[in-house]
Chains A and B, each alone.
Chain A
Amino acid sequence: MSPAISPFALFFASIFTSNILLANFLGMCSFVSISKDMTSSNGLGLAVVVVLTVTTGVNWAVLQLLEALGLVYLRFIVFIIVIAAVVQMLEMIIDRVSQTLYMNLGIFLPLITVNCAILGVSLFMEIRSYSFIQSIVFGFGSGLGWWLAIMALSAIRKKVDKAPVPAGLKGAGITMITIGFMAMAFIGFSGMLQVQ
């Protein structure tokens, strides 16, 4: 039975109060490494939005099938395979449809297959037994949240690059501290909506 949350609330919750990066800390590796460069961050963020929305929808359908067959315990491995296949097909389709989009987004797609935020959202969808609409909205919102977070971080890192950072904290160190502060700031949203 799906929980009684309006898709609208779920959408905002997944962006702000339970941001996939800053509340759940999923998808950290590309978050830390790619945020060095703002243009790449933008492309990667956009790609995450697309892939999250599509794979969460597809995985919802696959989950119904697994439930009907009594094979829910296979969800981890099946979700991963589905994500990999969907990303492959998306890459081909984007290459066909628009060269510009492929330039900005396509090259990041293979990178995203192994992003744990993607698998994480599919698993949250399963644990919280969302309906189809809720799943799509949750996937889309989580993607936007991830995009927002990486853009914010890369903007901050641009400033930090020019700041006098102690030698031992340069690079990953100060970035992790920055992420910590950002997460604390996002806690400020937490009272607004409650979905978990």
Chain B
Amino acid sequence: MMDLPFILNFLLMCAKAAGLLGFVSISVMFLIWWERKISAHIQSRLGPMIVGWHGALQTIADTLKLLLKENIVCREADKLTFWLAPLVVFVASFLPFVAIPFSKNLIAQDLPLGLLYILAVSSVGVIGIFMAGWGSGNKYSLLGGMRTAAQIISYEIPLVLSILPIVMMTGSLSMNTIIGAQKNVWFICYQPIAFLIYFISAIAEVNRAPFDIAEAESELVAGFHTEYSGMKFSMFFLAEYTNMFVVSVIATTLFLGGWQGPLLPGIAWFLLKVYFLIFVMMWIRWTFPRLRVDQLMDFAWKFLMPLAFLNILVTALVMALIK
């Protein structure tokens, strides 16, 4: 690729980005519809039914509505921060797609430090959320932003610690190498506890129930996006579902064997596993009530983190014994 002239390289990059952006938009539209359907059926309702087959085009109609809405900026808002926040949140959730291995060769750029890159860029999103909370000039938004910052920084630690045993076992941070190491046995069989810790922390990372104290409706109106409307609000929405996709991708890659599977092509297996994990997240959201702030912090620092350390220790001991 290095031999290509700069302009061709640039065009190729743009094409990849456009393709990924298209995939993200369609995937998010599908996920929003799916979540509404799942939540409805869990509550014995039908959910959207009017627009398209079983309401399948409902999200497109909603997107059009959001595009046409008035752009409201409140008087007390810190204008620049307020404007930039949704962009920061969305860009941070979109960047990891560069290193996501959809199939053996279907990967925008197989970075040697892919996993580190994904973790690094996706955690930038918290800055955007805090910017939104601060920039709105509203106490509910600020509280929501503060809570998110505290929560995401706390859960980042068990999240990374639960990934560490996998990296120790494979000795690599490249997504495709990790998938290749699971040719015979998925890592979830070796590391079930790490998978559980990862999955719980991941749900907290994407601010979803039961860890959605950042936008706790009953306490904070809508948390950090209280003052947002129209396209800026939909950016946050887009980012939330994109983030769900990204954390499920990491779980699939690290624990469920990525795109590997019999019969079906790689991308089908990959998307099946990812969407199954997203389904579990939705299922959890519509089952459990929200945790209190102190319970949330206790759970991360006093339970998940020691457990993750213990898991690393046991993995290291077993690895040393086997050698």
Tell me, yes or no, whether A binds B.
no
Chain B residues in contact with chain A, CB under 8 A? none
